[in-house]
Amino acid sequence: MKKTLLALAAVAASSAAFAQSSVTLYGIADVSVESVKGASTVSRVTSGNLSTSRLGFKGVEDLGEGLKAIFQLESGISVDTGAANTTRFFDRNAYVGLTGGFGTVRLGRDDSLIGLVAAGPLATVSTYDELRLLPTRAADSYRRADNSITYVAPTFVPGLTVAAQYSTAAIGSSSTTTGTETANDSFGKTYGLSANYVAGPLSAGVGYLNVKDAVSSTTVSEKANAALVYGAYDFGVAKVTAYYDAETSPALKASSTAVLTSANSRRLTVLGAKVAVPVSSQFTVIGGAATARNVNGSTAGNDNAQVFTLRGIYSLSKRTSVYALFTNVNNDTNTNLAVGGVTGANDQTSRGIAAGIRHAF
């Protein structure tokens, strides 16, 4: 009898421990038919125009006394071909951390803090969005950071979230290239800060990035900066969001003894606004406009661009939506931006139109 009771107690204890841990499989399948025009026109089926298609795992374990272990492993995929987006196994996120009364600490490949501002409140990181087209660090090259240490402070003021991040080697030039720490070399080291505030219909925030941003570890460069500030107000009949992005690219030197020049420097500024109108409980229309200065570099001149975006999203359920997208880019004399990665042409208009379906699971 005692053995039976002990066995039942052991089973109950193991079940309780199991109940304190959970792993979730999740993802997004987003595919659309599009026609994009740059120097030429291409019509195709493609993946991830509204949201990047992905497959991920995330989990949490309750360690007791308010302390929890967390992890996330997430990979981008192309639904149109079934291929992985990059040669990385988990190209979007790969981290483990702890969360408790002290806040949250995450170690690994993580969203950059300025990237979270662009992807979250602004939602301007898809292939049809201006911050991705230009491109900016928040939505493109430093959307995520390798080898990062991320700290999210506990909530001291209701509605306010503050975070800090440091990377020992974040390579932003390509998502297929991983950062590698090298002795006596600060190439790729970054730090970032963010603060976001939400109070009823009002929201505002800022994300900042400072990076040792050279072409390669053998090229000496000054530090580069990027800052993204936004404010939004939901009037009920429409939500209006305005933002300002400013960033610099460093002047490069071939070696530590070479003369510093501004030939490769860039001082990009973007001023934009978005208006989201809930036409019904299921259908939302979002329009946006942005103007960008010094897209190619401070010495190029005549390299500005204007971007207009329009999207309509109709929810068939909580998980499934159909959508239509339109983006138009007006290039200056020395600017050749193009929607959808096609080749652009200087002083010409590029545009893209897409219709698709997105399912989250």
Gap between the Cα atoms of 273 and 233, Å rounded: 12
Lowest-confidence range among 108-117, 146-155, 209-218, 253-262?
A: 253-262
Gap between the Cα atoms of 30 and 51, Å rounded: 6
Terminal alpha carbon distance of the chain = 47
**Residues 289-322: pLDDT tens digits?**
999 999 887 667 889 999 999 999 999 999 999 9
Q: Given pLDDT bands bounded at 50, 70 and 90, which one contains residue 188?
A: confident
Burial classification of residue 115, based on how many CB atoms lie within 10 Å of its CB (0-12 exposed, 13-18 middle, 19 or more buried): buried
Show the tokens assigned to 324: 């239509």
**Residues 114-130: pLDDT tens digits?**
999 999 999 999 999 99
Strand-pair partners of 84? 77
> What single-letter amino acid sits at 64?
G
Angle at 197 between CA 155 and CA 274, to 5 degrees: 150
pLDDT at 201: 97
The residue count for the chain: 361
Neighbours of 326 (CB within 10 A): 17
Domains observed in the chain: 29-198+280-291+305-360 (2.40.160.10)
Residue 192, H or E segment = strand 190-199
pLDDT at 321: 98
**Residues 197-210: pLDDT tens digits?**
999 999 999 999 99
Gap between the Cα atoms of 65 and 100, Å rounded: 9
pLDDT at 214: 53
